[in-house]
Amino acid sequence: MITTLDCGHELVKDHSSSAGYGTNGDGIKLCYNCCAEQDKAFMREHGKNTLYLTKDEKGWKVTNWPGTLVFRPHYVKKGWHNIAGSRHDAWFTFEGHVWHAVQYGEWSDIARCKRTKQAA
């Protein structure tokens, strides 16, 4: 069964536990590549986004949920937080600006990301 998503692309399931698409706040179903494009457009327009700070075999990365948008931070610092216990700060570059990501605690990968005034 081939299904066409709202973005106009065909549904491709690459993992048995994955839906093969993402849904935005308006309920529109997007392929994973279009999810990355929408995340980049949101970052350009609003100067912020909620992404994920995780590690893989190459080191730290800031990524969107399906992993189709990946930034490799040029610096990651671990500190302490009075409520969450720990805090990770990461700095990465997107379209000529340095971005700052903050992730709290050891039980979540969620990172709040904001564009800084610093040019890359």
Number of domains in the chain: 1
Structural domain contains residue 29: no
Structural domain contains residue 13: no
∠75-76-80 over CA atoms, to 5°?
145
pLDDT at 92 over 60: yes
Residue 102 belongs to domain spanning: 46-119
pLDDT digits over 45-79, tens only? 999 999 999 999 999 999 999 999 999 999 999 98
Structural domain contains residue 97: yes
pLDDT digits over 7-51, tens only? 878 877 666 667 778 888 888 888 889 999 999 999 999 999 999
Structural domain contains residue 62: yes
Structural domain contains residue 85: yes
Contacting residues for 1 by C-beta, under 8 A, at least 6 apart: none
